[in-house]
Amino acid sequence: MLEVRNLRKEYGEFVAVDEVTFALPEQGALAIVGESGSGKTTTARMIAGLEAPSGGSVVVAGEERPAGRLRARERRVRARQIQMVFQDPYASLDRRQRVGDALAEAVGFHQRLPADGVRARVAELLDMVGLDDRQARALPKALSGGQRQRVAIARALAAEPRLLILDEAIAALDVSIQAQILTLLRRIRTETGTALLFITHDLGAVRHISDEVLVMQHGRVVEHGPVATVLGAPQHPYTQRLVASIPKPGWTPRRRAERAAA
């Protein structure tokens, strides 16, 4: 459903994204991993149409996206296909708007429905992300970080996207909440058939969510393959370092520190 060819982004002399090429099948799940500044967000923003590429192309469902700024109608069409969820849901939610109203607004934006249809769809979205009426009546500040991220995911799903891009979407959450959101995303993928592009600096999370992983460093793809292959036998020195830094089960931070000191 997505083909990215020689995608490139320059900021003046600086090349933030350098000839990135990959494909994502319908209902597939791909993770992009790399340290901060490796070009992950810029790549995602170009795919979502929020940023114009300096070169290369993004083909969605067989159709090449027009380069340059999109018109309002094109933006809406693309939003139906590709939705993005960011690290900080609080920043993307209106603090004065109750969760249920925010979701109703998103549903109304993407679909022409009568009022009771909107209500039913909002209830469905809440259910899909494991929230209920209580949270629907709440303002974002009354919710936990994990609940807010569930709201952001529900709002993205209102568009019935074919691709959901999650950019460090669980990075700010506690580890146990991260695991819950990963489980939720797996279920959403199964239930709705949406493809996932999961962006993270944490290679450990990748095996729980994606089929394939693409490793970026300095704007370039240094490794790309099935998760089991890349994690099991990393080829590039950078990937080898990333894999070595994944905490092993049963290793407490203390024991790691002791080993590092030994």
In the bound state with ligand ADP, the residue whose beta carbon lies nearer, of 101 and 202, is: 202
Pick the closer one to ligand ADP by CB: 40 or 224.
40
**What are the tokens at 6?**
């020689």
- Distance in Å, CB of 216 to ligand ADP, minimum: 7
Kindly list the residues in this chain that would bind ligand ADP in the complex (CB under 6 A).
11, 16, 34, 36-42
CB of 18 to ligand ADP, least distance (A): 10
What is the C-alpha to C-alpha distance for residues 243 and 246, in angstroms, rounded to an integer?
A: 5
Contact of residue 11 among ligand ADP, Mg ion, none (CB under 5-8 Å per partner type):
ligand ADP
Q: Residue 13 Cβ, how far from ligand ADP at the closest point, in Å?
A: 11
Q: What is the DSSP pairing of strand 55-60 with strand 2-11? A: antiparallel
- Distance of alpha carbon 21 from the chain centroid: 18
Instruction: List the one residue out of 46, 52, 48, 111 whose CA is nearest residue 78.
Output: 48
Nearer to ligand ADP, 36 or 176 (CB): 36
User: What is the rounded distance in angstroms from the CA atom of residue 52 to the CA atom of residue 160?
Assistant: 24
Strand partners, 2: 24, 60
Query: 41, 62 in Cβ contact below 8 A?
Result: no
CB of 9 to ligand ADP, least distance (A): 8
Closer to Mg ion at the Cβ: 40 or 150?
A: 40
Q: How far is the CB of 125 from ligand ADP (least distance, A)?
A: 28
For residue 163 the two structure tokens come to 């691709």
Q: Which is nearer to Mg ion, 45 or 189 (CB)?
A: 45
Give the one entry of ligand ADP, Mg ion, none that residue 39 binds, where binding means its C-beta sits below a cut-off of 5 to 8 angstroms depending on kind. ligand ADP
Largest CA distance in the chain: 67
Draw the binding track, 32-71, toward Mg ion (x: CB under 5 A; -: no contact). Answer: --------xx------------------------------
Q: How far is the CB of 84 from ligand ADP (least distance, A)?
A: 12
**Which residue number has the CB closest to Mg ion?**
41
Query: Which amino acid makes up residue 58?
Result: V
217: phi then psi, degrees, rounded to nearest 5: -145, 130
SS3 per-residue string spanning 164-218: EEEECCCCCCCHHHHHHHHHHHHHHHHHHCCEEEEEECCHHHHCCCCCEEEEEEC
User: 177 and 209 in contact (C-beta within 8 Å)?
Assistant: no
Measured from the CB atom, the residue of 84 and 102 that comes closer to Mg ion is 84
Q: Which does 251 bind (CB under 5 to 8 A by kind): Mg ion, ligand ADP, none?
A: none
Q: Decide which of ligand ADP, Mg ion, none touches 34; Cβ closer than 5 to 8 Å per partner kind.
A: ligand ADP
Q: Of 129 and 166, which CB lies nearer to Mg ion in the complex structure?
A: 166
Which residues are at the interface with Mg ion (CB under 5 A)?
40-41
